[in-house]
Amino acid sequence: MTDGGKPRPSGRRRDDRRRDGIVRIAAVGDFHCGEEDAGRFREAFARANEEADVLLLAGDLTRRGTPAEFRVVAGELADVRIPILAVLGNHDHESGVADAGLAILRERGVHILDGEPFELDAGVGFAGVKGFIGGFGRWTLTAFGEDETKGIVAATLEEVSRLEFALRRLSTPVRVVLLHYSPICDTVVGEPEQIFPFLGNDRLVEPIDRFQAAAVFHGHAHHGTFRGKTPGGIPVFNVSHVLVQKEGVGDMYFLFDVPVARSDDAESGQPRAIAGTAG
């Protein structure tokens, strides 16, 4: 199923979709692989080869971020042939060896969108960061008081800045954003209100709206709300695995069609990570 709930033929290939002016995204986060999960998701992920043009992983790929768990994740993705783009989540940092995890994912061919954008082709590009905590609206945490508080706000602002930079580096007319933490309050509603400040931060909305992203995908709020919108009207999807299943929009991932220039109107090209620094 795709956004809007209409069934689509699953066997249509990327070139056919591009001729129709569509790039189809499969997106999921928070499947939290443990060592005992080897083989559990492999078949479901492999279906993305037929159903989508790119697979987005919105963080919390593991339970505690151990190298053994990252190796399970790489195994679950072993049969995926379309580009895989990912950000890490807080769970993936728990063991303090995220670099080792990233190396395992990169060896599998996963492109880590940690401020490093990715152009699928000339039509659509992807920018992502983990994001961070801090809350929403007038209750957002401010850099006042103890150094520790200022440190949290500084870490959030650093994520905002890296997302802005990644969006600016994309030369594609269509830009898609991937996060772990939520950039809006609407998609965390359903979780206990007391923990909203730990589920995201709406400082991330400013570059999303300014660069007019086509859509945003995030995870982290497992019991939040599936869809929302930024103040600028950009669609936001909370693709936490349990929420995708609860909403009935997919078994493993949510499929979303992004309108792009039809392939005979646009210069086509190979997927590429953007090298070097921005202009």
Residues with Cβ < 8 Å from 256, sequence gap 6 or more?
2, 3, 24, 25, 27, 215, 217, 237
Q: Between 89 and 123, name the residue whose CB sits nearer to Fe ion.
A: 89
Report 90-149 residues binding Fe ion (CB under 5 A). 90
> By CB under 5 A, which span of 81-89, 100-108, 249-257, 266-274 interacts with Fe ion?
81-89
CB closer to Fe ion, 83 vs 219? 219
Residue facing Fe ion at closest CB distance: 60
Q: Which CB, 165 or 198, lies closer to Fe ion?
A: 198
CB of 199 to Fe ion, least distance (A): 8
Please state the closest distance from residue 132 (CB atom) to Fe ion, in A.
11
Give the helix ranges, DSSP H, for 10-81.
14-19, 42-46, 48-51, 67-76
Cβ atoms of residues 238 and 183 within 8 Å: no
- Minimum distance of Fe ion from residue 127's CB (angstroms): 20
* Interface segment toward Fe ion; rule CB under 5 A; list 9-17, 55-63, 146-154, 267-275: 55-63
Distance in Å, CB of 92 to Fe ion, minimum: 8
> Residue from 18, 28, 30, 58 that binds Fe ion (CB under 5 A)?
30
Determine, following the binding rule CB under 5 A, whether residue 69 of this chain makes contact with Fe ion: no
Q: Is 24 in the site for Fe ion (CB under 5 A)?
A: no
Least distance (Å) from Fe ion to the CB of residue 180? Answer: 6
Compute how many residues bind Fe ion; rule: CB under 5 A. 5
Query: DSSP assignment, residue 77?
Result: T
Contact 11, 49 (CB under 8 A): no
63 or 71: CB nearest Fe ion? 63
Closest separation in Å from C-beta 263 to Fe ion: 36
Sign, Cα dihedral of 177, 178, 184, 189:
positive
CA atoms within a 13 Å half-sphere pointing along the CA-CB vector of 4: 6
State the nearest-atom distance from the C-beta of 220 to Fe ion, in Å: 4
User: How does DSSP assign 80-134, residue by residue?
Assistant: --S-EEEE--SGGGTTS-HHHHHHHHHHHTPEE-SS--EESSSSEEEEE------
Distance CA 214, CA 234 (A): 7
Residues 195-224 that bind Fe ion (CB under 5 A): 220
The Cα–Cα gap between 122 and 172 comes to: 6
89 contacts Fe ion (rule: CB under 5 A): yes
- CB count in 10 Å sphere of residue 247: 15
Q: In degrees rounded to 5, what are phi and psi of residue 240?
A: -50, 135
The window from 1-9, 25-33, 93-101, 247-255 that contacts Fe ion (CB under 5 A) reads 25-33
User: Could you tell me which stretch among 53-61, 145-153, 183-191, 256-264 binds Fe ion (CB under 5 A)?
Assistant: 53-61
* Three-class SS state of 277: coil
**Smallest gap from residue 104 Cβ to Fe ion (A):** 19
* Closest to Fe ion by CB, 90 or 161: 90
Q: How far apart are CA 234 and CA 223, in angstroms?
A: 21
Q: Where along the sequence are the contacts to Fe ion (CB under 5 A)? A: 30, 60, 89-90, 220
